[in-house]
Amino acid sequence: MASIPEKGVFLSQSLACIFTISMLFLILSSSLLFQFGDNSSVSKSIYNLIIDNNTLDHINNESCFKLDPVKPANSCDENRALLKVFMYDLPPWFHFGLLGWKGNQNPNRIWPDVSNLSEIPKYPGGLNLQHSIEYWVTLDLLSSVSSNVSRPCTAILVQNSSQSDVIFVPFFSSLSYNRRSKIHGSKKHSMDRILQENLVKYLKGRDEWIRSGGKNHLIIAHHPNSMLLARKHFVSSMFVLADFGRCPVHIANIDKDVIAPYKHVVRRLDADDSPSFEERHLLVYFQGAIYRKDGGIIRKKLHSLIKDEEGVHFTFGSAASGGGVRKASQGMISSKFCLHIAGDTPSSNRLFDAIASHCVPVIISDDIELPFEDVLDYSKFAIFVPALDALRKGYLMKVLRGVGRQKWIEMWERLKQIAPYFEYGYPSQTGDAVDMIWHAVRRKICSLHDSGGRRRNRYQMSQNFLKS
């Protein structure tokens, strides 16, 4: 079988690997000692809950982390919460009104009663869902003051903005883009544009905005095309984004903004149901659209390079139509590796579909930004290949075939552990995507280090697989 390397190859790789890991460990442990002295064990215990142990080298301000792990509870109070959030009472047409919610026959109501599941409006399904982050975050915030909902007490809604850490702007911008961008009849502008203009007007008239110039405001614009008109007014605010593909660096950048995962569209595997190395008969899977821009060129070239190799499934086609999601799901759970190749933007839900399918992601997208990378070491469960290398004849297949069974199983085990960090749902749970986003917001507010150090690690692994 082409996908299982010879014993000798595997042995020399593991030696190289062990050597690298022990060196890293040595460096990390000395830097931990240096930074934390005797307190290191205290900080670590908080982070065992969710995060890679050896990412603590990035944390340089312990006061950013409360000492009690934030457990789910039926009541949350301001003293226990990690993050106090003030939320504007924007009129419903900026948020749940976009879902058809009409205040339950009461025109004065702004928010649904989130303690009653049947009163919560549903978000539209299909591909809309991949950018539904705005919805889950808003629901979580509302439920933080509802006595009937059990959730982690990470963020709490507060009524007094001067006592908040951050001010949340509850505009469902991705939904507005997806559902209200068309210009109807004789109208001059789309509803999406009108909402953006009204939002800018609203914010600029608020004391909270005037006081800070928007600095401590949190704005979700996850769809790459969402809020494109308004973004330039929010340069000092903190965005929650999918990537920085359509944003000039003075508007959005990793120093001030948070990258959130897409909501995956394939079914999530239970850790117990995950097909094993032997059960995944494909080596590598890719299904996606062809784009005309940069990413598309890589996709086409890669396609012609590897499509005829043994164990490769590489086809073009949209996941949206004709049972595509079900087929993609089937393909991913039958594969050891899943390609994530840059498309018209550096990120896509395909990465998160791969994670949900416990299919080791192979990331060929040099400009991708990854969620929570400051605390999560992606090189433990994903393989990064620079685009230029991937286009060299034979390179990619050599890297993938160089990953031995043992190494693959390690990555797969880690995938099963980290998959819950990318799950959105209601109510929110400890260590799920919403909880992780609040933690990431907290870290940004504390202006902790960016993920630069972690990014430099990305390509080390794929180099190791080549050594033989």
Ligand X SMILES: *[C@@H]1O[C@H](CO)[C@@H](O)[C@H](O)[C@H]1NC(C)=O
- The interface region with ligand X, picked from 160-168, 178-186, 195-203, 234-242 by CB under 6 A, is 160-168
Which of 118, 186, 304, 321 touches ligand X (CB under 6 A)?
118
Tell me the site size for ligand X, rule CB under 6 A.
Answer: 16
The residue (of 44 and 398) whose beta carbon lies closer to ligand X is: 44
The residue (of 4 and 64) whose beta carbon lies closer to ligand X is: 64
The string of DSSP codes covering 326-382 is HHHHHHHHTEEEEEEE--SSS--HHHHHHHHTT-EEEEE-TT---TTTTT--GGGT-
Which of 6, 7, 37, 63 touches ligand X (CB under 6 A)?
63
The residue (of 402 and 431) whose beta carbon lies closer to ligand X is: 431
What the block records as the tokens of 391 is: 């286009």
In whole angstroms, the minimum distance from the beta carbon of 149 to ligand X comes to 8
In whole angstroms, the minimum distance from the beta carbon of 116 to ligand X comes to 4
Instruction: Specify the residue for token string 């880690």.
Output: 414
What the block records as the tokens of 172 is: 């469902």
The residue (of 61 and 460) whose beta carbon lies closer to ligand X is: 61
In this structure, are residues 347 and 369 in contact, taking their beta carbons and an 8 Å threshold?
yes
Query: Interface with ligand X includes 52 (CB under 6 A)?
Result: yes
**Beta strands at 166-169 and 72-73: parallel, antiparallel or unpaired:** unpaired
Query: Interface with ligand X includes 61 (CB under 6 A)?
Result: yes
- The interface region with ligand X, picked from 58-66, 82-90, 342-350, 356-364 by CB under 6 A, is 58-66
Q: What three-state secondary structure class fits 102?
A: coil
Nearest alpha carbon to residue 260 among 363, 377, 130:
130
Letters for 97-116 (x = contact with ligand X by CB under 6 A, - = none) are -------x----------xx
Q: Please, which of residues 165-224 interact with ligand X by CB under 6 A?
A: none
In whole angstroms, the minimum distance from the beta carbon of 52 to ligand X comes to 5
Query: Interface with ligand X includes 68 (CB under 6 A)?
Result: no
In whole angstroms, the minimum distance from the beta carbon of 295 to ligand X comes to 32
In whole angstroms, the minimum distance from the beta carbon of 162 to ligand X comes to 4
In whole angstroms, the minimum distance from the beta carbon of 161 to ligand X comes to 8
In whole angstroms, the minimum distance from the beta carbon of 167 to ligand X comes to 13
Query: Interface with ligand X includes 119 (CB under 6 A)?
Result: yes
In whole angstroms, the minimum distance from the beta carbon of 89 to ligand X comes to 15
In whole angstroms, the minimum distance from the beta carbon of 41 to ligand X comes to 9
Tell me 118's DSSP state. G
Query: Interface with ligand X includes 64 (CB under 6 A)?
Result: yes
Residues 6+ apart with CB under 8 A from 266: 325, 328, 329, 332, 353, 356, 357
In whole angstroms, the minimum distance from the beta carbon of 447 to ligand X comes to 7
- Could you give the angle at the alpha carbon of 188 between the alpha carbons of 184 and 192, nearest 5°? 70
In this structure, are residues 70 and 465 in contact, taking their beta carbons and an 8 Å threshold?
no
Which of 79, 106, 162, 321 touches ligand X (CB under 6 A)?
162
Overall residue count recorded for the chain in this entry: 468
Which of 31, 39, 53, 460 touches ligand X (CB under 6 A)?
53
- The interface region with ligand X, picked from 47-55, 134-142, 195-203, 271-279 by CB under 6 A, is 47-55
Q: Please, which of residues 423-452 interact with ligand X by CB under 6 A?
A: 446
In whole angstroms, the minimum distance from the beta carbon of 32 to ligand X comes to 12
Residues 6+ apart with CB under 8 A from 448: 58, 59, 60, 61, 64, 374
- The interface region with ligand X, picked from 15-23, 61-69, 183-191, 390-398 by CB under 6 A, is 61-69
| Type of residue found at 431 | G
**Helical segments of 253-308, H only:** 294-306
Q: How far apart are the first and last CA of the chain?
A: 18
The residue (of 288 and 371) whose beta carbon lies closer to ligand X is: 371
Q: How far apart are CA 235 and CA 215, in angstroms?
A: 8
Q: How far apart are CA 220 and CA 233, in angstroms?
A: 14
In this structure, are residues 338 and 319 in contact, taking their beta carbons and an 8 Å threshold?
no
The residue (of 44 and 303) whose beta carbon lies closer to ligand X is: 44
The string of DSSP codes covering 201-230 is HHHHTSHHHHHHTTTTEEEE--STTTTTTT
The residue (of 75 and 116) whose beta carbon lies closer to ligand X is: 116
In whole angstroms, the minimum distance from the beta carbon of 34 to ligand X comes to 16
Query: Interface with ligand X includes 163 (CB under 6 A)?
Result: yes
Nearest alpha carbon to residue 377 among 461, 291, 268:
461
What the block records as the tokens of 82 is: 């990690």
Other C-beta atoms within 10 Å of 211: how many?
12
Q: Please, which of residues 120-159 interact with ligand X by CB under 6 A?
A: 148
Q: Which residues bind ligand X (CB under 6 A)?
A: 48, 52-53, 61, 63-64, 104, 115-116, 118-119, 148, 160, 162-163, 446
